[in-house]
Amino acid sequence: MSIARQKPLFPHRHLLGIEGLSRPEIEHLLDMAEEAVEVSRQVEKKRSILRGRTQINLFFEASTRTQASFELAGKRLGADVMNMAVANSSVKKGETLIDTAVTLNAMRPDIIIVRHHCSGAVDLLAKKVGCSVVNAGDGSHEHPTQALLDALTIRRRKGRIEGLTVAICGDVAHSRVARSNLILLSALGARVRVVAPSTLLPTGIERMGVEVFRDMRAGIAGADIVMMLRLQRERMDGAYVPSLKEYARFHGLDDEKLRLAAPDALVMHPGPINRGVEISTSVADGPQSLINEQVEMGVAVRMAVLEALAQHLPNA
Amino acid sequence: MLHAPIALVNARLVDPVSGQEGRGGVLVSGGLIQDLGAGVTRDAVASDIRIVDCGGDVVSPGLIDMRVFVGEPGAEHRETIASASRAAAAGGVTTICVTPDTSPAIDDPAIVDFLMRRARDNAQVRVLPVAALTKGLKGREISEIGLLGEAGAVAFSNGRHSVRNAQVMRRAMTYARDFDALIMHVAQDEDLAGSGVMNAGELASRLGLTGIPREAEAIVLDRDMRLVAMTGGRYHAELISTSLSLDIMARAKQQGMRVSCGVSINNLTLNENDIGDYRTFLKLMPPLRHEDERLALVEGLASGVIDVIVSDHDGQDVEAKRVPFAEAEAGAVGLETLLAAGLRLVHADQVSLPILLRAMTSRPAEILGLPQGRLAIGAPADLIRFDPDEPFVVDPATLHTVCKNTPFDEARLQGRVKMTLVAGAPVHE
């Protein structure tokens, strides 16, 4: 029996992105999340891992489900959770991101969950605070907990990720969900395709280790997982795609297109969905849809992340 | 309804694809060319088939005009599908591409559908709608390229105006590439062209008119070529008018880009001096240029840098032209004089007949992906018969178009079309 402290299975103080995580670290988080699923399905959901700890949800961008999911995760682990309503805060009065970070840091939180509309903003904030930081989405860069919850959902349903063909469809160019997912799924051995009109594909995507399709029928043919992305309303109207109608026709997932995927294909969407645009109601509510399961896995994955980071908190 | 078989015999067959000429005939039935060559003679054809003895006249594919303004919907006082179709048939034009700058613009699949139904019921020649590249032709938002293409749009153009915003153009090209859609564009920097009404230069200065510099065209064309290189789309410069543009196109083609260009018959056969005494019928867009530029264009046609000749048919009503030059609308009718005006270049020994016809038949067909425009067994029987030497004087009163503003008013031309077949049916004799 060794008395030397074991190297922790998740050695990071922050979770800023999937980039930089090793396959064992990702799998460790998913394993922890499996346990959190069980906890969340019990009547008594409360744990004490984060008792006495303070978690601040700092959302510079409006969010309902992600913020609620982090709040529940923190509370189930026993933390005191505070939601910062940024719309009413000093940020709107012109305070810089760094000043906000320094101010919050002085309140001695243990974990800050941050969403920001600028790519890289969460990294910047993490450098200015003494506590752990979780990226809840930064601009078009990363959304690591979404990728983890997607992976957990797939792994529970399919039993594996290795070797699966996953088609990520839609506004890849502006999607942090797509970036985190393609890094994570590739790391776990999935074959990742991206499917979008050229205007919604980031430059150089061909060199990011994915197969690129402009034609959705070809792109989802034989896929095990069809992962739809949300199309922001402001991008529908002539700037990137001509219209909602045309987008739905050529890039919306409906029953007819879904039949081209593998017979046991599963459909995912990070939500909130635009019914009739990127996904038809019959597919979103159909038997192949995992959309609600993704939400459940979201809480579990965030509990796992908070627990993993808690090991590095002072006095842990 | 398919027309009864016809045999055109004793003709001088000109094949624009191979550049070959030869005596012979063409046998037409079922809307297609069934046989052609020296073997199709009066004696060889079955007795119950109508025989047309061409007496040595040229028989070639019918012309394909990639740029025709028809006022449906919204400007029927300037041209209708029926009148444009009659004029086209008389001029030997068997396929017309209609521009999207109607009112409303052709930016909705329902309008494409409307035009195709109107053409089916009123046109004797083939009518292909070119849809708007941007919504309302405003140059701000991409139109429904996929749905418009499914409805029958053959290409996408911004009408008579350039897309000013390079980001919009880039996205339009990027998006169009997914559908392998052809973008057609009139390149002209609107700011540089400003209030110009004719070619910038000594003559404009003498006339006291504001000029449009050649660079107004070159700057936008150059920008577009860089965007094509960036996005990999298919691009057709609809109307080039200067040697600067020829250089840009030649370079882009050398680099293997999927680009082509067209020239108006007016810029190819007239120059700024024809404006003379402020003749508004010669007010055109792009403007008539210096004779050196015209000669460069003719050379570009002969060398193949220029792919296509268009009539740029754009009838203007009397009141739009019976005003001072600066206030007149630009544009001229051209369907009925396209071939004869082009034959001026042949008679002047500047280009050969097959090269002229190639730019009016097979090249437009290749660019648009059409089966017609060639003399080949199995090809659609869109054919014309003409005597390239027969002289005539252009009499505006005899034109079939609603508007009569031809820049060839009273001009002596040669080469009247004697017969036009569309899908094997005579539509003009």
Inspect the interface and report whether the beta carbons of B141 and A238 lie closer than 8 Å: yes
Return the closest-CA partner of residue B99 out of B241, B262, B249. B262
Where in the sequence numbering do the catalytic residues of B fall?
312
φ/ψ (deg, to 5) at A142: -140, 155
Residue located via tokens 């998740």: A10
Regions in chain B scoring below 50 on pLDDT: none
Model confidence pLDDT, tens digit, residues A189-228: 999 999 999 999 999 999 999 999 999 999 999 999 999 9
Inspect the interface and report whether the beta carbons of B175 and A250 lie closer than 8 Å: no
Model confidence pLDDT, tens digit, residues A101-111: 898 999 999 99
Average pLDDT rounded to a whole number, residues A163-187: 97
d(CA A316, CA A314): 5
Residue B113: predicted pLDDT: 98
Residue A186: predicted pLDDT: 97
Pairing verdict, β B259-264 and B198-199: unpaired
What value of ipTM does the predicted structure carry?
A: 0.88
Integer CA distances (angstroms), A105 to A75, A126, A150, B7, B250, in order: 21, 10, 31, 92, 63
Residue of chain A nearest B132, judged by CA positions? A242
Integer CA distances (angstroms), B105 to A132, B68, B157, B236, B290, in order: 57, 14, 11, 20, 33
B61-368 is classed CATH 1.10.540.10: no
Residue A88: predicted pLDDT: 56
Model confidence pLDDT, tens digit, residues A219-267: 999 999 999 999 987 777 678 999 999 999 999 999 999 999 999 999 9
For an interface test with B, the pick among A174, A203, A250 (most B C-beta atoms closer than 10 Å) comes out as: A250
Structure tokens at B94: 């068997």
SS3 A205: helix
Average pLDDT rounded to a whole number, residues A144-166: 98
Of the candidates A215, A237, A249, which has its C-beta nearest B147's C-beta? A249
Query: pTM here?
Result: 0.93
d(CA A194, CA A170): 8
Q: How far is A242 from chain B (nearest CA, A)?
A: 5
Domain ranges of chain B: 61-368
Model confidence pLDDT, tens digit, residues A68-86: 999 999 999 999 999 987 7
Inspect the interface and report whether the beta carbons of B174 and A246 lie closer than 8 Å: no
Q: How far is B108 from chain A (nearest CA, A)?
A: 11
For chains A and B, what is the number of CB pairs under 8 angstroms? 47
Residue of chain A nearest B168, judged by CA positions? A239
CA A85 distance to own-chain centroid = 21
